[in-house]
Amino acid sequence: MRPPATLSGSRPRGSSLPPSNSRPSNPRPSRLGLLRLGALWLALAAPTAGDIGSCGRAREDLDAGKFFAEKSAIDCANCIQCNIATSVCDAACDPAETASAFADGCYPLVHDGEVCLAALSHASCDDYQSYMAELGATAPTECNFCPPERRPTSEGP
pLDDT in tens, 51-82: 455 556 678 899 999 999 999 999 999 999 99
Domain enclosing residue 79, as ranges: 64-96+109-146
pTM beyond 0.75: no
- Evaluate whether residue 8 is within a structural domain: no
Is the pLDDT confidence value at 118 over 80? yes
134 in a structural domain: yes
Q: Is residue 44 part of a domain?
A: no
Q: In the predicted model, what is the mean pLDDT of residues 3-9?
A: 53
CA 140 → CA 6, 20, 48, 99, distances in Å? 71, 64, 28, 18
Give a yes or no: residue 37 inside a domain: no
Q: What is the pLDDT of residues 15-28, one digit of tens each?
A: 565 555 555 555 66
For residue 50, what pLDDT band results from cuts at 50, 70 and 90?
very low
Give φ, ψ of 123 to 5 degrees.
Answer: -75, 150
Buried b (16+ CB within 10 A) or exposed e, 80-102: eebebebebbebbeeeeebeeeb
The helix/strand/coil state of 109 is strand
Number of domains in the chain: 1
Angle subtended by helix axes 110-121 and 64-81, to nearest 10 = 0
